[in-house]
Amino acid sequence: MTEHLPERITDPKALRALSHPTRWKLIELLGLERTATATRCADFTGESVASCSYHLNMLGKYGFVEQAEGGTGREKPWKLVKYDQSWETEGLEPEGQLAAEALTDVFLDYEVGRMKEASRRQEREPEEWRRHSRKSAALTYLTVEELEQVAQELRSILDRYADRLEEPARRPPDARAVRMFFATYFPPGSGTG
């Protein structure tokens, strides 16, 4: 089962290794399908097999993926080492801070791009799924303690279903992959900072 709090990535080289949109596509695919060859990755990403092989090897070099059992060469499957990635700039040396900021930019661009793609496909989804798929934003005022409580409650909700990611047998027959993206941030002029 996925750990509640993933290990924080602090190595600038590892942070830079994740700072590429193709690598996030590969991580997404491996999360969805558990294993994939470079050929399957090419089908999913629209990149060449050679490009996918290169990106998988870079992710492997920094411990994000590893080769799975079976296959040979580019037909050898890869799998995620960890399903959760975590990073922040706090406490890092300047090189690490810059790498973490660049990674955050790439990650946010990737997530927003995927949300836009899903939005364009929205009307082709079955009505029962469309009814519960939402994009919304909220602005409210919270204390630090209340913000912590909200974050814990959201994590608690997601943790109820976390075992389904790594253990497909635990998924109900009618379940499908659902991506959820949560962000909290402080608008300019909202207080300190």
In a domain, residue 7? The reply is no
* Domain span at 111: 12-135
Strands (E), the chain: 35-36, 65-67, 78-80
Where residue 21 sits, what CATH number does that domain have?
Answer: 1.10.10.10
In a domain, residue 31? The reply is yes
Asked whether the CA dihedral 149, 150, 155, 158 is positive or negative, the reply is positive
What is the average per-residue pLDDT within 109-137?
89
pTM over 0.85: no
What is the average per-residue pLDDT within 111-129?
90
Contacts of 28 (CB under 8 A, 6+ apart): 114
In a domain, residue 54? The reply is yes
What is the average per-residue pLDDT within 140-168?
92
In a domain, residue 193? The reply is no
What is the average per-residue pLDDT within 3-29?
88
Q: What pLDDT band is residue 6 in, cutting at 50, 70 and 90?
A: low
In a domain, residue 32? The reply is yes
Domain count, the chain: 1
So what's the pLDDT on residue 132? 84
In a domain, residue 93? The reply is yes
What is the average per-residue pLDDT within 106-129?
91
User: Mean of the per-residue pLDDT values for the chain?
Assistant: 90
Tokens of 124: 């082709």
143-155 residue pLDDT tens = 999 999 999 999 9
In a domain, residue 152? The reply is no
In a domain, residue 114? The reply is yes
What is the average per-residue pLDDT within 115-125?
90
